[in-house]
Structures are given as structure tokens and as C-alpha cells.
Amino acid sequence: MKITEVRKCQKRALQYLRKAHLVYTPEEARHIEVADMGLGMIEQFGLEVLVYENNDRYCAKKLVLFPRQTCPEHRHPPMDEQNAGKRETFRCRWGVVYLYIEGPPVRRTKAIVPKSRKEHFTVFHEIVLKPGDQCTIPPNTLHWFQAGPGGAVVSEFSSSSHDETDVFTDPLIHRLPVTEQ
């Protein structure tokens, strides 16, 4: 992504954080990660991430999703024998999120499955998260999520986060964090 586009997405993400009444430092604002997953279609695929804390034991982030923006299907594999892979809890703070995990599928998803990469969405057990709702995703479990038509802000609480080890269903995806440092 071009740095001008990253900055534009960061600014827009801050608007959503403010809508959710979240407070951030200027330093944090500058380091919001804009993750387009290497697909180059940030409006459709990706998310914006503000990391509060990430250490070898736990992690806390805020995720911003623009309207209908989709975090593509992926799982968090075991890191080694000591680490079962990332477990994570999503808690909706603002807007609506449609979350899909392994399990009995819905017939018609509330999310709009992006046509261009449709074949790389394979799990359709639907969980709708509105403000105050939360869901914990076990390690190594396929999941993807999309904001409703108004966008969303989500708190993510988890074990230690190592995004670079995420396994995406779509072979075109590579998870390279892009921030303005």
C-alpha cells in the first residue's frame, strides 16, 4: 500500500475509534496498523488495528472494520509444543460484526461473501456480535468476519499475538503489517 493510502485509512480508523468513545495517544494513532493482507483491496479485505499491549503472555487490541470490510478466513496454528496457538476473544464495542467459525453453517449469511475471492471462504457458522456481545475462538479454528453496513469497532483480548504465523485459506494472502512508523 502507498503511504498516502495508509494514512488515509489510519485517519478514517480514528474516526471510528472516536465514535466508539475510545481514547488513544498521538503515538498510538501514528502506529495504527493498516492490514490489506497483500490483496490490495483495503476497502473490501483487511482491517485496521490499534495494539494496546502485546507481550509473551497476553495481548489487547482494538480492531476497526470499515463498512462491509472483511477480515479473510484464517486460523492461528500452534506455535510449538508449549503454545497451543492463539486463543482470542472478540467483544463488539460499536457497530455490528458478523463472525463465522467452524460449526453448523447458516443457509444465508448476513455478511456478503466477497465474490472475487469467494472460494476461499469455507466456514459459515454465524455469530452476530452487537455492542457488549463477545465470543471466544479456540486456537487453530478457522474464522473470518465482516462489519455490518455501518462499520464496527471490536476489542480483541487474546494470548500472545503473532500475526505473521496466521494461516489464511486464500493462498494469495500474506500478512505483512504496514504502519506509519
Q: Closest approach of Cβ 87 to a copy of itself, in Å?
A: 6
Interface with a copy of itself (CB under 8 A), residue from 39, 128, 131, 169: 131
Nearer to a copy of itself, 20 or 35 (CB): 20
- Grid coordinates 463477545 are at which residue? 134
Which of 157, 167, 169, 179 binds a copy of itself (CB under 8 A)? It is 157
Q: What DSSP assignment string belongs to 106-151?
A: PSS-SS---GGGGGG----EEEEE-TT-EEEE-TT--EEEEEEEEE
Q: Where are the alpha helices (DSSP H) in the chain?
A: 3-19, 26-30
Q: State which of residues 104, 132, 149, 171 lies at the interface with a copy of itself (CB under 8 A).
A: 132
Stretch that binds a copy of itself, among 71-79, 97-105, 131-139, 171-179 (CB under 8 A): 131-139
Least separation in angstroms between CB 15 and a copy of itself: 16
DSSP-based three-state secondary structure for 158: strand
- Residue 140 within binding range of a copy of itself, rule CB under 8 A: no
Residues forming beta bridges with residue 126, ordered by sequence position: 100
